[in-house]
Structure 1
């Protein structure tokens, strides 16, 4: 790679498999909202073949931004590309954006880096979450198990709150005919509603079985239960030296990427185990520490009006029905969110309650040693 012109590299992932529309959207947002911080713009072209039309089109979209270019194949995932780029680049600070990322306000990069340079800060991001893949899968698995295995009749309340999930995993349950729905309604009138609590013990045994090592959902043991604070990887900034000082397993699969983002040894967990802060930076320029995230008005919070850099998941949330949004808020923020938004969600006996210890410091020690860093945190940049 060439010698850096600036201390900061803004690294944008252009993945062929996602098409060209996200590149056009990113470019429009990048040009509409100046970052406010001098940087080298780096594009990772992932999965493109040399001289193929798609690559030429991608170049045509981004070339006027004068990028430094890295080419990699489509093996691995986004995080694979980020770590590969970090090893090749020589910048002091790196800010990573995924293919769907779009800045939402002027001086967005400056706001991120000003917070990163505060003493004691180890990582910053535009969005974060308390979600646990383990806890969310427990809930969603029970929904599927009740519908597909136990054959409970169509329940309009479950439909309203879990439609997006059932459409993906068990559309046949949603597609029950009107006649079937009428019969089910008669059964409810005669025999009463299905009491989901009657299934709790049987499901608990099922869940314990499938989450054993080697089980169908054995991977769940790699994640904290809720709350599981982590910076989302759609947009995050970190010292290059700090990122490379961490010890991660080989990141190749989607599950490896989930572990990097929110597993026991996630990048956020390793930062916090060194006594450093993980901040969400809003459009307002404020850096919110872990216990303040639910007040940040960012990812799946209120109208998300304070999101500094959006992505496809931020935008998708706005397209859900009010009931589906409530379910996502519950899985993301649990009882830390406004209970008026989540108290009607049928949780089927699953809870997403507060656990302060998980916010103070991760309860599980990192599995990989954390070597000492030989640089001090950067000071705040004035103004």
Structure 2
């Protein structure tokens, strides 16, 4: 396959899905966030328009001036499938994967993630990690604690991403790729490399440090680099529900 020319080492892929509730508002928030928060590193942006028909022109208007590449595809394969398509058609060293509800929260966010991921000892860098497990639902998942990088905002070498994933055929497949025994994080760890979370302060946190990093479902999430609908949901909950979510994610409560 002949890939599209790209002179940037990092390809950011954003998935815009017509069936998502308020897809237009989410897309506007994403674009506003990447324009207001300077990335600190060069990149190319590819937008994947999933399942669009009548609203495609409106969606393209949202990204006019910021998107270099685009893909218009049917609504299948989940986000992971869209990321795989992007890597297969655009040449880049790294892919930064962002879901429909992703929003960048601070300047130099991309440079901080790239700097950490460029270390050969590191295999994947995310804005959020979790110990959650679906082990009671399927033997395809490790039991708790099951450390994994959440796939709504992460960066990885393109070659590794293609090697460690497949296009999911159903939701269980997508969950297995995120946190299963043979999932993305597990493959990185099995290769002898680290899976790290980077915070807004630029610090890279190893697995044992995630819970106290003030990122996903940790305290007030004040160190979160990239937000999504689940981090927003956590902040919208009352204190009692937050404690339950903390326990679900980390197995312990904040002190």
Question: TM-score by structure 2 length?
Answer: 0.95
Larger helix proportion, structure 1 or 2?
A: 1
Structure 1, unmatched stretches of 5+, are 136-218, 341-383
Cα distance, 1:250 vs. partner? 4.3
Residues 203-222 of structure 1, C-alpha deviations (whole Å, 9 max, x = no match): xxxxxxxxxxxxxxxx4221
Cα distance, 1:110 vs. partner? 0.5
Residues 238-284 of structure 1, C-alpha deviations (whole Å, 9 max, x = no match): 000111222x4541211111000011111000000010000000001
Residues 39-72 of structure 1, C-alpha deviations (whole Å, 9 max, x = no match): 11111111113xx2x1111111111213311111
Structure 2, unmatched stretches of 5+, are none
Cα distance in structure 1, aligned partners of 2:63 and 2:95:
19
Higher relative contact order, chain-length normalized (CA < 8 Å, sep 6+): 1
Cα distance in structure 2, aligned partners of 1:7 and 1:119:
16
Cα distance, 1:23 vs. partner? 0.3
Query: Where does residue 20 of structure 1 map in the other structure?
Result: 24
Larger strand proportion, structure 1 or 2?
A: 2
| 1:294 matches 2:177 | no
Query: Where does residue 10 of structure 2 map in the other structure?
Result: 8
Cα distance, 1:7 vs. partner? 1.0
Query: Where does residue 161 of structure 2 map in the other structure?
Result: 243
2:140 to 216, 222, 229: 222
Query: Where does residue 264 of structure 1 map in the other structure?
Result: 181
Change over 3 Å in CA distance of 1:89–1:125 after alignment to 2: same
Query: Where does residue 121 of structure 2 map in the other structure?
Result: 120
Cα distance in structure 1, aligned partners of 2:83 and 2:62:
21
Cα distance, 1:92 vs. partner? 0.7
Bigger Cα Rg: 1
Cα distance, 1:15 vs. partner? 1.0
The list of structure 1 runs, each at least 4 consecutive aligned residues, that deviate by more than 6 angstroms after superposition, is: none
Taking the TM superposition and a 5 Å limit, the aligned residue runs for 1:32-47 are 32-47=36-51
Q: Secondary structure at the match of 1:94?
A: strand
| 1:231 matches 2:232 | no
Taking the TM superposition and a 5 Å limit, the aligned residue runs for 1:154-303 are 219-246=137-164, 248-303=165-220
Cα distance in structure 2, aligned partners of 1:326 and 1:94:
34
For the 8 Å contact 2:46–2:86, the answer to whether it is kept is: no
Q: Secondary structure at the match of 1:65?
A: coil
| 1:320 matches 2:247 | no
Aligned residues: 251
Cα distance in structure 1, aligned partners of 2:191 and 2:248:
27
Cα distance, 1:80 vs. partner? 1.3
